[in-house]
Structure 1
């Protein structure tokens, strides 16, 4: 089966048909979808979807784009929510967390500092409970690396990776995997395609970031998790390997970096 390690299945772009979206992905061989949260307001939504969809799981976190409106009470609530969620087999990671130094409103000194504070506190929660993290890394590769080295979680995924080979190796060295999706289907995305082609296969996991980052044959439309096999076909061609080999490797990589996910998919069968 394929695993979509990053899909915002609760997004409004799916028009209330999230379960249908998940079912259509399952029909295409996507046996598991990981749904990251973005703020306190959607923790319950991702939990419900991660339970209701037969091929989904979820993560809890506060996205850097949501940090401006977040409070320290949200961090306290997150710790309590994570503690309670440990008894739920559908709960697999902390995320989406990280740093975004691309959007102007997030780049003021005050907002940069607040992002760092929230990222570090969420890393502490991940470390406390022995959980991997799903990281948002935009114009902040070195900064994210610095903080995860200082507060190392139990592994993680650098979502939508678009850094240098040196930065990629930095993530690999601390036990992270690197997420690749629709961006690599664009021939003009030269750096992403080089990374996807040349990085160790053991470091790569598949993702869509649906409803965003659609492959070229969907862009500018709404991305969906059933696009994973098509994206993977492009990646397999870039690497010169068979589609089955890529599927088996990336699925094993996702299980390795998210042990609770491996246990969950094992319970549900192939």
Structure 2
């Protein structure tokens, strides 16, 4: 999941000092679980129907925030929101759902961590941001982790296509974050999220209808979709923006390190998808490069 906001932190209370680490941990667990839910639901719903339901449910949960700030969203702004929504939500969600049909849930969670590195790379290539030698090296290390992950096989199956899909989704997240920073600055972040999700849901709707499963999905698949949309998309966004308001976007982004760990752990505990040595090496390279990139920044 990729989100972005520029809210400045407010002074934390005594309660917030101990509550913040707990909330970051809970948010990492929720977003890590999103890859588990996609892994369960994607084979029965297919990517398009799954993503349509996820986007619609997430937008529905966040709709009150958009309604409250509706005066800040004139009609001329909505085409821009639709483009950013496609780049930052609709297409990445479809890519991750497609990958979830073909590889363990932990693979997508590990690829998602590349968002931080792609954000820096896109900023340097297209928006004139300087990354310096140290961060350039960390980018190389992170991409090396992707190569390690993509070259592996799990249970005899080639996971390369799923890794490429997850990496492409992370790249789009990186592009989307840069676009949000430059074109939606000043708008309330809690309203931007439902606006882009709503636009994305409308864009994906024809594909979701066309590819709606012929056989009724199981109760487990429906439950996974509901949790993916309501909890992992809607409620998680609210939690994230609360954290940003309290401690700032920089510190709140530390949840990036927890998502792959929880994603792999949930898949192992609940689906029996044990991490391979290659997955561990790739995750170490990618998360290590993210940590070094943030420190260099």
**TM-score under structure 1 normalisation?**
0.25
More helix by share: 2
More strand by share: 1
Structure with the larger RCO, 1 or 2 (CA within 8 Å, 6+ apart):
2
**TM-score under structure 2 normalisation?**
0.23
